[in-house]
Structure 1
Amino acid sequence: MAISDSYLKSCLGREREKVEEKADRDGLWVRVSKKGAVTFFYRYRFLGKQDKMTIGSYPAFSLKAAREEVDKWAAVLARGENPRIRQGLDKAHITSRRTFEELFREWHAMVCIQKSSADQVLRTFELHVFPKLGKYPADQLTMHNWLTVLDRLAEGYTEITKRVISNGKQCYSWAVKRQLLEMNPLAELTGRDFGIQKKMGERTLNRKEIAIVWRAMEDSRLIERNKILFKLCLFWGCRVGELRLSEVQHFDFEEGVWTIPWENHKTGTKSKKPLIRPIIPEIVPLLSRAIALAPGKYVFSRYADSAMSPSFHLSISANLVKFMLKAYKEQVPHFTVHDLRRTARTNFSDLADPHIAEIMLGHKLPGVWSVYDKHNYLDEMRNAYCKWWARLMSIIEPDILEFTPRQTG
């Protein structure tokens, strides 16, 4: 005889001397404990053997819901699967579900951490993604969910939007390969879908701008360590990250060489080779002062045991522009540290052969040239840097007409 709702209600919470079981239909049974707890379970035969599985507890699980569950598991049985084992696997899958933040942090710790920009990537997601999407199961987020975040982000932060798309896409692809997710909702998205066009930087500082920016570095309340950092970025034409991660031990004043370990420069992840740049006598005072200011091993950090964050320099240029307008009544267009690198490279073209200029930037020689030519060109770079410093000084101090390099020692 089938079970009724009235029967279940009469059993609920009423104590009895022994456990009672009663059949409904299609393999659905109900068990009533001595304390009056009512539980549904499904009995079936698999490969000729009796088996059973728990469906749920009444009244949280209604009789109608229990019957529908039995129909679902009967279909699983008809496909040749053991319903109890399938139920266990499904529960394990639900238990192992990661929120998007958990998934991203797992990918970041395993894969992204190898990038030089790893800290910057994580900080971007902590600020712009996790507060909106981080708490939701990664496998339930759709492209529509992402578009609500990316559309708003693209209105004011084009570079950050591209970073979120790129790294979010990589995280999802990694999860799909590991069968943690079935699909990548960002797979088809690019910056172009948000009106973001990839463009090459064109900003270089002219002679007047170089002079006034250098003067502003001297006159402003910019921290001395950062003043030196910007001057050296303009002199060497290096990436700011190479100086940010530089340690005292990387500077050899006797040999006149700055060595950038392969982990600290952009092409190092592929080449596994360090970069070397000459230290000319004229910049020794700047470097010596920076090292004297450093509280620990990192030359351009205010921390004793860690480097500054990858984005620590981003506000410096804007502050200098504001200072120049206020102090000198000069409206200098916004520039970035990378624009200083581009400015240096543009001037290198007048001072050195093209291949030397490229090596000074840390670029490798093209094609088979780099395969067979293992010369370090240190002397050639040193000569070019001496000429570049001379030009800088003639720009900053117009009275300087001729420059003679100092002798080391």
Structure 2
Amino acid sequence: MTLGDCVAYWMKHYVPQLKVGTQTLYRSFAKNYLIGAFPGRNVETIHAREWMEWLDTICLDSSKTANSLFTKLRAGLNFCKSKFIIEKTDLDRIKRQHVGKAPEVGTRVPTFSELSMIWLAIERSRASSSNKALHQLTILRGNRLSELRLARRCHFDMEAGIWMVPKEISKTNMPIRRPIPTKARVILERIMETYEDVLFPGGDLDKPITISAANRYIRCIRDSLPIEDWRTHDFRRSLSTGASELGVMPHVVEKMFDHELGGVLAVYNKHDWLKEQLEGYELYAEKLDNYLK
């Protein structure tokens, strides 16, 4: 079994069980780094030194990518071992902390002033209306990008004012109910007038915009602004911090992010405080609007 054989087996028998976004990420790593590496070599004969030299080469471009690649490679080979496709590899001798640099826990909290700059840069860009709306809604909602990127028209009950994220695309594997605040409603209604079932398509109107295309767009926006480095995921910290500063109660803020409540509340209380969430989102959007004027 070559490394390519092992990766192909993993991709066929395990990866399809994962969420769509995770599948896309794993296939990207496989295509860009794993398939074609060590061609013709029995994966069990690749020495630890060879693995490390290969990973160190990737580190030259991005130490974080090398670290992430290592964890995915190890997972794929471990799956093959669990199915008795291979017995062992020398990769087991390498520890993650010795490969590149692990991703840091995020601390960046874009301010309302910075969010307004990002919002206007998106507004003035020449991107498609779906791409622009995807990121502006994420600023307002603090949602995980893929929950919105993969959203369909049927996920939004505009009459009831509820966005239902199905379990298939939620990180928690549980359905999520979220209110639709006024500013988000305006954007959604405009998108629904433009697109059909897939609300945030890419080049193909029948398929959602890819995560790579969404990230590529936001990199262009980021590079055009004279502010400290930021990522789309940082919008979640901005909303959490901003909503708290505006007086939204902690348990409501936690529900706005689909976080489990602690203690007895996590076990018995399944209320999602939609009314209170909506009030929190409205306060946050109003504060942002003050900076956009």
Partner deviation per Cα, 1:282-327 (whole Å, 9 max, x = no partner)? 3222012223333x52211122433232322222232113334xxx
Alignment match of 1:301 (pick from 191, 201, 221): 201
Mapped pair 1:113 → 2:113: no
Sequence identity percentage: 24
Alignment match of 1:360 (pick from 256, 268, 276): 256
Residues 238 and 362 in structure 1, CA contact (< 8 A), matched pair in contact too: no
In 1, Cα distance between the equivalents of 2:205 and 2:123? 26
- TM-score normalised by structure 2 residue count: 0.91
Hey, what does 1:347 align to over in structure 2? 242
Pair 190,251 (structure 1): closer, same or farther in 2 beyond 3 Å: farther
Pair 349,135 (structure 1): closer, same or farther in 2 beyond 3 Å: farther
Q: Choose between structure 1 and 2 for higher RCO, CA contacts under 8 A separated by at least 6 residues.
A: 2
SS in 2 for 1:389: helix
Residues 119 and 136 in structure 2, CA contact (< 8 A), matched pair in contact too: yes
Residues 107 and 171 in structure 1, CA contact (< 8 A), matched pair in contact too: yes
Q: Which amino acid aligns with 1:106?
A: Y
Alignment match of 2:4 (pick from 85, 94, 101): 101
Pair 188,246 (structure 1): closer, same or farther in 2 beyond 3 Å: farther
Greater mean deviation of Cα atoms: 234-243 or 209-218: 209-218
Mapped pair 1:250 → 2:155: yes
More strand by percentage: 1
Pair 122,197 (structure 1): closer, same or farther in 2 beyond 3 Å: closer
Mapped pair 1:183 → 2:104: no
Hey, what does 2:232 align to over in structure 1? 337
Alignment match of 1:390 (pick from 280, 283, 286): 286
Structure index of larger Rg: 1
Q: Which amino acid aligns with 1:381?
A: Q
Shift of 1:334: 2.4
Residues 234 and 340 in structure 1, CA contact (< 8 A), matched pair in contact too: yes
Q: Which amino acid aligns with 1:305?
A: D
Q: Which amino acid aligns with 1:159?
A: K
In 2, Cα distance between the equivalents of 1:105 and 1:141? 18
Alignment match of 1:320 (pick from 202, 214, 221): 221
More helix by percentage: 2
Unmatched 5+ stretches in structure 2 = none
Residues 67 and 100 in structure 2, CA contact (< 8 A), matched pair in contact too: no
In 2, Cα distance between the equivalents of 1:106 and 1:253? 43
Pair 368,150 (structure 1): closer, same or farther in 2 beyond 3 Å: farther
Residues 162 and 190 in structure 1, CA contact (< 8 A), matched pair in contact too: no
The count of residues paired between Structure 1 and Structure 2 equals: 289
Residues 143 and 186 in structure 1, CA contact (< 8 A), matched pair in contact too: yes
Unmatched 5+ stretches in structure 1 = 1-97, 325-330, 398-409
Kindly report the root-mean-square deviation, in angstroms, between the aligned alpha carbons of the 2 structures.
1.9
SS in 2 for 1:164: helix
Pair 300,185 (structure 1): closer, same or farther in 2 beyond 3 Å: farther
In 2, Cα distance between the equivalents of 1:152 and 1:225? 38
Pair 299,135 (structure 1): closer, same or farther in 2 beyond 3 Å: farther
Shift of 1:146: 1.9
Residues 243 and 284 in structure 2, CA contact (< 8 A), matched pair in contact too: yes
Hey, what does 2:77 align to over in structure 1? 172
Alignment match of 1:275 (pick from 165, 172, 176): 176
Shift of 1:198: 4.6
Pair 368,195 (structure 1): closer, same or farther in 2 beyond 3 Å: same
